[in-house]
Structure 1
Amino acid sequence: MEMTRPGPVRWLHYAYGGRLPDRYREWVLHDATDRGWLARFALLVVAQTLPWLVAAFLVLVLLTPLSLGWALLAVGAALALSLFFTLTSADELTEARLVKHGFAPGTGKNRRRARHVSSW
């Protein structure tokens, strides 16, 4: 089966937790299990948090006496914490995404484990 990659609008829908049509099923499996899946997951988290970080930055700069440097530091710390807490749960969050797209529970973990073992 040929893998169909979603366009930017569908990808954003996917990034914010939406379910893609079945024609993207193979791409979802690839996104969640193939080499670089954790880096792609981190980019997904950044895409999800970016609007909130921009809003927080604007509030800090426009409505508080904080300097630009402190506002950037606060937003950077928020991004770092967001990445830390989501990356520590990446396996489970990715598994939930796969189940949402019709895969059996454990598919992602099993596929990543099999790929890792075969690379040794």
Structure 2
Amino acid sequence: MHVYRGLVRPLRPGPLRWLWYALGGGLPPRYREWVLYDASRDRWVLRHFVRSALQISLVSLPILMLVPGPAWGRWSALLLGWLVGLQYALWFMDGSVERRVRRAGYPPGALQAARDALHAEERAAAAARYAARYRSGDPR
């Protein structure tokens, strides 16, 4: 683990292990904390879509190179495939990320607890602002 901008960041996998992880493979137990870190930080949605795009791109090149027909047909099929693939990635995002965390050895609900802990101070400050504004009788 190392500290970056006040946050303790766990050991990150190397590029080849991350590629395997992005394609759906599991990581060794020493990266267990990183999986939870990766799934609970602020840009977890973006990272989920990067992993999904990587998986879709593996199918894209063979479609362009091997499927017979005009180029516009292959490109339009590819575009529609990307749209459907990203739509499924959106629909199953929460379950997919939860499954990655559970495969790393965490119990169900650990991901949401980590996200809640990350944003606890922000929520407390927002609740205090709300209480100060609306419970004091000042309608500003």
Q: TM-score, with normalisation over the residues of structure 2?
A: 0.74
Residue 25 (1) aligns with residue 32 (2): yes
Percent of paired sites with the same residue: 33
SS in structure 2 of the partner of residue 19 of structure 1: coil
Cα offsets for 1:4-58 (capped at 9, x unmatched): 1111110111112221112212211111110100100000011112111111122
SS in structure 1 of the partner of residue 106 of structure 2: coil
Which structure shows the higher strand fraction? 2
SS in structure 2 of the partner of residue 119 of structure 1: helix
Letter in 2 for 1:80: L
SS in structure 1 of the partner of residue 25 of structure 2: coil
* Equivalent residue number for residue 86 of structure 1: 89
Runs of 4+ in 1 over 3 A off after TM superposition: 113-118
Cα offsets for 1:74-116 (capped at 9, x unmatched): 2121111101112211111111111100011121133234445
- CA distance in structure 1 between the aligned counterparts of 2:25 and 2:110, rounded to whole angstroms: 19
The structure having more radius of gyration, on CA atoms, is 2
Residue 104 (1) aligns with residue 107 (2): yes
- Which is further off, 73-82 or 109-118? 109-118
Q: TM-score, with normalisation over the residues of structure 1?
A: 0.84
- Count of residues paired in the alignment: 116
Structure 2 segments unaligned to the other structure (5+ residues) = 3-9, 124-140
Answer 1 or 2: higher relative contact order, Cα 8 Å, separation at least 6: 1
1:99–1:105 CA contact under 8 A, matched in 2 = yes
Kindly report the root-mean-square deviation, in angstroms, between the aligned alpha carbons of the 2 structures: 1.8
Which structure shows the higher helix fraction? 1
- CA distance in structure 2 between the aligned counterparts of 1:118 and 1:87, rounded to whole angstroms: 28
1:29–1:98 CA contact under 8 A, matched in 2 = yes
Structure 1 segments unaligned to the other structure (5+ residues) = none
